[in-house]
Amino acid sequence: MKEKTVLPVVVVALVGALVLTLGLWAMNASNQSVATAVEGADRSLERFEWKLVTTWPKGLPGLGTAPENFARRVNAMSGGRLTVRVYGAGEVVPPFEVFDAVSQGVAEMGHGAAYYWKGKIPASVFFTAVPFGMTAQEINGWLHYGGGLELWRELYAPFGVRPFAGGSTGVQMAGWFNRELKSAADLNGLKMRIPGLAGEVFAASGGTAVRLAGGEIYTSMQTGVIDAVEWVGPLNDRTLGLMEVAEYYYYPGWHEPGAMLEFTVNQQAFDRLPPDLQSIVEEAARATNGDMLDEFTARNNQSLTSLIDDYGTKLRPLPDDVVDVLYSNAVTALDALRQSDPMAAKIGSSYEEFLIGVRNYHEISERAYLNVRDRVLPPVSFTDSQ
Ligand code: CA
Protein backbone atom coordinates (compact mmCIF):
# COMPACT_ATOMS: atom_id res chain seq x y z
CA MET A 1 0.00 0.00 0.00
CA LYS A 2 2.81 2.32 0.99
CA GLU A 3 4.69 1.52 -2.20
CA LYS A 4 1.60 2.45 -4.25
CA THR A 5 1.52 5.96 -2.76
CA VAL A 6 5.27 6.53 -3.02
CA LEU A 7 5.46 5.86 -6.77
CA PRO A 8 3.12 8.69 -7.91
CA VAL A 9 4.98 11.09 -5.60
CA VAL A 10 8.28 10.08 -7.18
CA VAL A 11 6.76 10.42 -10.66
CA VAL A 12 5.34 13.82 -9.84
CA ALA A 13 8.69 14.91 -8.40
CA LEU A 14 10.55 13.62 -11.47
CA VAL A 15 8.09 15.24 -13.86
CA GLY A 16 8.31 18.44 -11.86
CA ALA A 17 12.09 18.38 -11.99
CA LEU A 18 11.96 17.66 -15.70
CA VAL A 19 9.55 20.52 -16.33
CA LEU A 20 11.72 22.84 -14.26
CA THR A 21 14.83 21.71 -16.09
CA LEU A 22 13.18 22.08 -19.48
CA GLY A 23 11.80 25.41 -18.43
CA LEU A 24 15.18 26.69 -17.31
CA TRP A 25 16.77 25.29 -20.45
CA ALA A 26 14.09 26.91 -22.58
CA MET A 27 14.52 30.22 -20.78
CA ASN A 28 18.24 29.99 -21.18
CA ALA A 29 17.94 29.03 -24.84
CA SER A 30 15.41 31.77 -25.32
CA ASN A 31 17.70 34.31 -23.68
CA GLN A 32 20.58 33.13 -25.84
CA SER A 33 18.55 33.34 -29.01
CA VAL A 34 17.28 36.76 -28.04
CA ALA A 35 20.83 37.89 -27.34
CA THR A 36 22.00 36.46 -30.67
CA ALA A 37 19.08 37.97 -32.48
CA VAL A 38 19.71 41.36 -30.90
CA GLU A 39 23.36 41.20 -31.81
CA GLY A 40 22.49 40.05 -35.35
CA ALA A 41 19.66 42.53 -35.60
CA ASP A 42 22.00 45.39 -34.84
CA ARG A 43 24.23 44.55 -37.79
CA SER A 44 21.53 43.22 -40.11
CA LEU A 45 19.74 46.55 -39.89
CA GLU A 46 22.82 48.35 -41.16
CA ARG A 47 22.73 49.36 -44.80
CA PHE A 48 25.82 50.12 -46.89
CA GLU A 49 25.90 51.90 -50.24
CA TRP A 50 29.16 51.69 -52.13
CA LYS A 51 30.44 53.38 -55.24
CA LEU A 52 32.52 51.23 -57.62
CA VAL A 53 34.54 53.29 -60.10
CA THR A 54 36.11 51.65 -63.16
CA THR A 55 38.76 52.36 -65.76
CA TRP A 56 36.41 51.12 -68.52
CA PRO A 57 33.93 53.05 -70.62
CA LYS A 58 30.44 52.71 -69.13
CA GLY A 59 28.69 49.52 -70.30
CA LEU A 60 31.71 48.08 -72.16
CA PRO A 61 31.03 44.35 -72.72
CA GLY A 62 33.61 41.88 -71.38
CA LEU A 63 35.83 43.97 -69.10
CA GLY A 64 33.03 46.33 -68.12
CA THR A 65 30.57 43.48 -67.57
CA ALA A 66 32.62 42.22 -64.62
CA PRO A 67 31.96 45.10 -62.22
CA GLU A 68 28.28 45.09 -63.22
CA ASN A 69 28.07 41.35 -62.49
CA PHE A 70 29.92 41.83 -59.21
CA ALA A 71 27.43 44.52 -58.12
CA ARG A 72 24.47 42.33 -59.10
CA ARG A 73 25.88 39.39 -57.11
CA VAL A 74 26.56 41.47 -54.00
CA ASN A 75 23.15 43.13 -54.11
CA ALA A 76 21.41 39.75 -54.45
CA MET A 77 23.50 37.83 -51.90
CA SER A 78 23.24 40.54 -49.26
CA GLY A 79 19.49 41.00 -49.71
CA GLY A 80 20.13 44.67 -50.39
CA ARG A 81 22.14 45.27 -47.19
CA LEU A 82 25.14 46.19 -49.33
CA THR A 83 24.34 47.89 -52.62
CA VAL A 84 27.10 48.60 -55.09
CA ARG A 85 26.62 51.18 -57.82
CA VAL A 86 29.00 51.03 -60.80
CA TYR A 87 30.40 54.12 -62.52
CA GLY A 88 32.21 54.12 -65.87
CA ALA A 89 35.46 55.94 -66.60
CA GLY A 90 35.08 59.68 -66.11
CA GLU A 91 31.72 59.57 -64.33
CA VAL A 92 33.21 60.07 -60.87
CA VAL A 93 36.95 60.12 -61.60
CA PRO A 94 39.07 59.79 -64.77
CA PRO A 95 40.14 56.21 -65.62
CA PHE A 96 43.69 56.48 -64.36
CA GLU A 97 42.62 57.97 -61.02
CA VAL A 98 40.63 54.91 -59.94
CA PHE A 99 43.32 53.63 -57.57
CA ASP A 100 43.74 57.01 -55.85
CA ALA A 101 39.96 57.37 -55.56
CA VAL A 102 39.73 54.03 -53.73
CA SER A 103 42.80 54.79 -51.61
CA GLN A 104 41.36 58.15 -50.52
CA GLY A 105 37.84 56.82 -49.99
CA VAL A 106 36.27 58.90 -52.80
CA ALA A 107 34.87 55.52 -53.87
CA GLU A 108 34.75 52.35 -51.77
CA MET A 109 35.71 50.13 -54.72
CA GLY A 110 37.43 50.15 -58.07
CA HIS A 111 37.80 47.81 -61.06
CA GLY A 112 40.75 48.10 -63.39
CA ALA A 113 44.20 46.64 -63.96
CA ALA A 114 47.11 46.79 -61.50
CA TYR A 115 49.70 47.72 -64.12
CA TYR A 116 47.97 51.06 -64.68
CA TRP A 117 49.52 52.09 -61.33
CA LYS A 118 53.06 51.14 -62.38
CA GLY A 119 54.29 54.76 -62.07
CA LYS A 120 53.30 54.81 -58.39
CA ILE A 121 53.76 51.10 -57.59
CA PRO A 122 56.34 49.50 -59.93
CA ALA A 123 55.71 45.93 -58.66
CA SER A 124 52.01 46.18 -59.57
CA VAL A 125 52.80 44.82 -63.05
CA PHE A 126 53.14 41.28 -61.64
CA PHE A 127 49.45 41.30 -60.82
CA THR A 128 48.27 42.08 -64.34
CA ALA A 129 50.71 40.55 -66.77
CA VAL A 130 54.39 39.79 -67.21
CA PRO A 131 55.62 39.46 -70.82
CA PHE A 132 56.23 35.78 -71.58
CA GLY A 133 54.89 35.01 -68.08
CA MET A 134 51.99 33.04 -66.66
CA THR A 135 48.70 32.17 -68.36
CA ALA A 136 45.30 32.85 -66.77
CA GLN A 137 45.11 29.37 -65.26
CA GLU A 138 48.62 29.71 -63.86
CA ILE A 139 48.23 33.21 -62.42
CA ASN A 140 44.97 32.17 -60.72
CA GLY A 141 46.84 29.24 -59.15
CA TRP A 142 49.64 31.53 -57.97
CA LEU A 143 47.27 34.13 -56.52
CA HIS A 144 44.94 31.77 -54.69
CA TYR A 145 47.20 28.83 -53.76
CA GLY A 146 50.76 30.09 -54.27
CA GLY A 147 50.98 33.13 -52.00
CA GLY A 148 50.42 35.70 -54.76
CA LEU A 149 47.32 37.32 -53.26
CA GLU A 150 49.05 37.81 -49.89
CA LEU A 151 51.91 39.62 -51.65
CA TRP A 152 49.42 41.74 -53.59
CA ARG A 153 47.73 42.75 -50.31
CA GLU A 154 51.10 43.55 -48.77
CA LEU A 155 51.92 45.73 -51.80
CA TYR A 156 48.68 47.74 -51.58
CA ALA A 157 48.44 47.89 -47.75
CA PRO A 158 50.40 51.19 -47.43
CA PHE A 159 47.72 52.79 -49.61
CA GLY A 160 44.82 51.47 -47.53
CA VAL A 161 43.64 49.37 -50.47
CA ARG A 162 42.68 45.68 -50.43
CA PRO A 163 42.94 43.94 -53.83
CA PHE A 164 41.01 40.94 -55.15
CA ALA A 165 41.46 39.11 -58.47
CA GLY A 166 38.96 40.75 -60.83
CA GLY A 167 38.76 38.49 -63.89
CA SER A 168 41.15 37.35 -66.59
CA THR A 169 40.88 37.74 -70.33
CA GLY A 170 43.03 34.68 -71.08
CA VAL A 171 45.78 35.04 -73.68
CA GLN A 172 45.30 38.37 -75.43
CA MET A 173 46.11 39.31 -79.02
CA ALA A 174 49.44 41.00 -79.83
CA GLY A 175 47.41 43.86 -81.27
CA TRP A 176 46.31 45.87 -84.28
CA PHE A 177 48.83 47.39 -86.67
CA ASN A 178 48.23 49.75 -89.58
CA ARG A 179 51.08 48.12 -91.51
CA GLU A 180 52.52 44.63 -91.82
CA LEU A 181 55.36 43.50 -89.55
CA LYS A 182 57.79 41.56 -91.74
CA SER A 183 60.75 41.65 -89.36
CA ALA A 184 61.91 43.19 -86.08
CA ALA A 185 63.14 46.24 -88.02
CA ASP A 186 59.49 47.16 -88.68
CA LEU A 187 59.07 47.95 -84.97
CA ASN A 188 61.31 51.00 -85.39
CA GLY A 189 59.40 54.23 -85.04
CA LEU A 190 56.03 52.55 -84.37
CA LYS A 191 53.85 54.37 -81.86
CA MET A 192 51.77 51.83 -80.01
CA ARG A 193 49.26 51.92 -77.19
CA ILE A 194 50.75 49.27 -74.91
CA PRO A 195 50.81 49.65 -71.08
CA GLY A 196 52.74 48.01 -68.26
CA LEU A 197 56.15 46.42 -68.40
CA ALA A 198 55.42 45.49 -72.03
CA GLY A 199 55.40 49.20 -72.88
CA GLU A 200 59.02 49.44 -71.70
CA VAL A 201 59.87 46.32 -73.70
CA PHE A 202 58.25 47.74 -76.82
CA ALA A 203 60.15 51.02 -76.40
CA ALA A 204 63.44 49.16 -75.97
CA SER A 205 62.63 47.26 -79.17
CA GLY A 206 62.54 50.44 -81.27
CA GLY A 207 58.97 51.67 -80.85
CA THR A 208 57.27 54.27 -78.70
CA ALA A 209 54.84 53.13 -76.00
CA VAL A 210 51.77 55.25 -75.29
CA ARG A 211 49.41 54.80 -72.33
CA LEU A 212 45.77 55.38 -73.27
CA ALA A 213 42.54 54.33 -71.58
CA GLY A 214 40.06 52.22 -73.55
CA GLY A 215 37.81 55.15 -74.40
CA GLU A 216 40.67 57.02 -76.12
CA ILE A 217 42.02 54.26 -78.35
CA TYR A 218 39.73 54.35 -81.40
CA THR A 219 40.14 58.07 -82.07
CA SER A 220 43.90 57.92 -81.49
CA MET A 221 44.23 55.19 -84.13
CA GLN A 222 41.83 56.92 -86.51
CA THR A 223 43.68 60.23 -86.36
CA GLY A 224 47.14 58.66 -86.62
CA VAL A 225 48.28 59.67 -83.12
CA ILE A 226 49.30 56.00 -82.78
CA ASP A 227 50.14 53.34 -85.41
CA ALA A 228 49.31 50.27 -83.40
CA VAL A 229 47.30 49.23 -80.37
CA GLU A 230 46.92 46.29 -78.10
CA TRP A 231 43.63 46.23 -76.23
CA VAL A 232 42.35 42.76 -75.34
CA GLY A 233 41.24 40.18 -77.89
CA PRO A 234 38.54 39.61 -80.51
CA LEU A 235 35.49 40.03 -78.24
CA ASN A 236 36.52 43.36 -76.74
CA ASP A 237 38.48 44.69 -79.72
CA ARG A 238 35.49 44.24 -82.01
CA THR A 239 33.33 46.11 -79.51
CA LEU A 240 35.73 49.08 -79.64
CA GLY A 241 35.60 48.93 -83.46
CA LEU A 242 39.37 48.54 -83.84
CA MET A 243 38.91 46.59 -87.10
CA GLU A 244 37.75 49.88 -88.63
CA VAL A 245 41.03 51.67 -87.88
CA ALA A 246 43.67 48.97 -88.51
CA GLU A 247 44.02 46.17 -91.03
CA TYR A 248 46.48 43.73 -89.47
CA TYR A 249 45.69 41.74 -86.34
CA TYR A 250 48.70 39.98 -84.77
CA TYR A 251 48.88 37.06 -82.36
CA PRO A 252 49.69 35.83 -79.77
CA GLY A 253 49.69 38.25 -76.84
CA TRP A 254 53.32 37.77 -75.78
CA HIS A 255 52.89 40.75 -73.48
CA GLU A 256 49.65 39.68 -71.74
CA PRO A 257 49.41 35.89 -71.70
CA GLY A 258 46.74 35.96 -68.99
CA ALA A 259 45.91 39.56 -68.15
CA MET A 260 44.48 39.65 -64.63
CA LEU A 261 42.16 42.49 -63.70
CA GLU A 262 41.56 43.71 -60.16
CA PHE A 263 38.88 44.70 -57.74
CA THR A 264 40.22 47.19 -55.24
CA VAL A 265 38.45 47.90 -51.95
CA ASN A 266 39.11 50.74 -49.54
CA GLN A 267 40.38 48.88 -46.47
CA GLN A 268 38.53 51.07 -43.95
CA ALA A 269 35.25 50.62 -45.82
CA PHE A 270 35.87 46.86 -45.87
CA ASP A 271 36.62 46.84 -42.12
CA ARG A 272 33.34 48.61 -41.39
CA LEU A 273 31.33 45.74 -42.93
CA PRO A 274 30.03 42.93 -40.69
CA PRO A 275 31.80 39.60 -41.35
CA ASP A 276 29.00 38.14 -43.49
CA LEU A 277 29.06 41.11 -45.87
CA GLN A 278 32.85 40.91 -46.03
CA SER A 279 32.48 37.28 -47.10
CA ILE A 280 29.92 38.27 -49.70
CA VAL A 281 32.33 40.84 -51.19
CA GLU A 282 35.07 38.20 -51.24
CA GLU A 283 32.93 35.46 -52.78
CA ALA A 284 31.29 37.77 -55.33
CA ALA A 285 34.75 38.88 -56.45
CA ARG A 286 35.89 35.25 -56.71
CA ALA A 287 32.82 34.28 -58.74
CA THR A 288 33.22 37.26 -61.05
CA ASN A 289 36.90 36.46 -61.50
CA GLY A 290 36.12 32.99 -62.85
CA ASP A 291 33.14 34.16 -64.84
CA MET A 292 35.11 36.58 -67.00
CA LEU A 293 37.44 33.88 -68.27
CA ASP A 294 34.40 31.73 -69.09
CA GLU A 295 32.89 34.53 -71.15
CA PHE A 296 36.06 35.27 -73.12
CA THR A 297 36.63 31.56 -73.71
CA ALA A 298 33.10 31.16 -75.03
CA ARG A 299 32.92 34.27 -77.22
CA ASN A 300 36.38 35.11 -78.57
CA ASN A 301 36.29 32.74 -81.53
CA GLN A 302 32.90 33.95 -82.71
CA SER A 303 34.19 37.52 -82.69
CA LEU A 304 37.42 36.52 -84.43
CA THR A 305 35.48 34.80 -87.22
CA SER A 306 33.34 37.90 -87.65
CA LEU A 307 36.42 40.15 -87.81
CA ILE A 308 37.89 38.04 -90.61
CA ASP A 309 34.71 37.28 -92.56
CA ASP A 310 32.71 40.49 -92.08
CA TYR A 311 35.46 43.10 -91.87
CA GLY A 312 38.37 41.63 -93.84
CA THR A 313 40.77 41.72 -90.89
CA LYS A 314 44.12 40.17 -91.81
CA LEU A 315 45.22 37.73 -89.12
CA ARG A 316 49.00 37.31 -88.76
CA PRO A 317 51.37 35.50 -86.38
CA LEU A 318 54.23 37.58 -84.96
CA PRO A 319 57.41 36.83 -86.95
CA ASP A 320 59.94 34.79 -84.95
CA ASP A 321 62.60 37.48 -84.97
CA VAL A 322 60.09 39.99 -83.55
CA VAL A 323 59.34 37.56 -80.72
CA ASP A 324 63.08 37.06 -80.11
CA VAL A 325 63.76 40.80 -79.83
CA LEU A 326 60.75 41.31 -77.57
CA TYR A 327 61.82 38.42 -75.34
CA SER A 328 65.39 39.66 -75.04
CA ASN A 329 64.19 43.12 -74.01
CA ALA A 330 61.58 41.62 -71.66
CA VAL A 331 64.31 39.80 -69.72
CA THR A 332 66.27 43.05 -69.39
CA ALA A 333 63.19 45.04 -68.28
CA LEU A 334 62.15 42.42 -65.73
CA ASP A 335 65.67 42.19 -64.28
CA ALA A 336 65.88 45.98 -64.00
CA LEU A 337 62.51 46.11 -62.25
CA ARG A 338 63.47 43.42 -59.75
CA GLN A 339 66.78 45.15 -58.99
CA SER A 340 65.32 48.61 -58.58
CA ASP A 341 62.44 47.92 -56.20
CA PRO A 342 62.47 45.73 -53.04
CA MET A 343 58.82 44.68 -53.37
CA ALA A 344 59.35 43.88 -57.06
CA ALA A 345 62.31 41.71 -56.02
CA LYS A 346 60.22 39.87 -53.41
CA ILE A 347 57.16 39.42 -55.64
CA GLY A 348 59.31 38.60 -58.68
CA SER A 349 60.97 35.73 -56.79
CA SER A 350 57.61 34.26 -55.79
CA TYR A 351 56.28 34.67 -59.35
CA GLU A 352 59.38 33.08 -60.88
CA GLU A 353 59.38 30.15 -58.48
CA PHE A 354 55.72 29.42 -59.13
CA LEU A 355 56.17 29.72 -62.91
CA ILE A 356 59.04 27.22 -62.90
CA GLY A 357 56.97 24.68 -61.01
CA VAL A 358 53.72 25.11 -62.89
CA ARG A 359 55.50 25.14 -66.25
CA ASN A 360 57.11 21.86 -65.35
CA TYR A 361 53.75 20.22 -64.69
CA HIS A 362 51.99 21.87 -67.62
CA GLU A 363 54.62 20.43 -69.93
CA ILE A 364 53.22 16.96 -69.32
CA SER A 365 49.59 18.02 -68.82
CA GLU A 366 48.24 21.07 -70.72
CA ARG A 367 50.83 21.08 -73.50
CA ALA A 368 51.05 17.30 -73.79
CA TYR A 369 47.28 17.05 -74.03
CA LEU A 370 47.00 19.77 -76.72
CA ASN A 371 49.75 17.98 -78.65
CA VAL A 372 47.96 14.65 -78.63
CA ARG A 373 44.67 16.33 -79.48
CA ASP A 374 46.31 17.99 -82.49
CA ARG A 375 47.63 14.63 -83.62
CA VAL A 376 44.14 13.20 -83.96
CA LEU A 377 41.82 16.13 -84.80
CA PRO A 378 41.74 17.87 -88.21
CA PRO A 379 44.09 20.88 -88.43
CA VAL A 380 42.83 24.29 -87.27
CA SER A 381 42.22 26.68 -90.12
CA PHE A 382 41.19 30.33 -90.45
CA THR A 383 39.35 31.78 -93.37
CA ASP A 384 41.49 34.84 -94.07
CA SER A 385 43.80 34.65 -97.07
CA GLN A 386 47.49 34.97 -96.31
CA1 CA B 1 45.77 44.39 -73.08
161 C-alpha vs ligand 1 centroid, how far in Å?
23
Mean pLDDT, each 10-residue run in order, the chain (386 residues): 42 46 41 42 87 93 93 97 97 97 98 96 97 98 98 98 97 97 96 95 97 92 96 94 97 97 98 98 98 96 96 97 98 98 98 98 98 95 62
256 C-alpha vs ligand 1 centroid, how far in Å?
6
Domain 47-171+259-295: give its CATH superfamily.
Bacterial extracellular solute-binding protein, family 7 (3.40.190.170)
Per-residue confidence (pLDDT) for residue 202, from 0 to 100: 97
372 C-alpha vs ligand 1 centroid, how far in Å?
30
Name the segment(s) of the chain with CATH classification 3.40.190.10.
Answer: 175-255+311-356
- Domain 175-255+311-356 -> CATH class: alpha beta
343 C-alpha vs ligand 1 centroid, how far in Å?
24
Is 49 in a helix, a strand, or coil? strand
Name the segment(s) of the chain with CATH classification 3.40.190.170.
Answer: 47-171+259-295
261 C-alpha vs ligand 1 centroid, how far in Å?
10
CA proximity to 255, closest of 175, 147, 335, 152 = 175
Identity of the amino acid at 350: S
Helices (H), 312-363: 320-340, 342-363
Per-residue confidence (pLDDT) for residue 382, from 0 to 100: 75
pTM across the whole model: 0.86
C-alpha Rg value of the chain to the nearest Å: 28
Per-residue confidence (pLDDT) for residue 44, from 0 to 100: 84
Per-residue confidence (pLDDT) for residue 5, from 0 to 100: 43
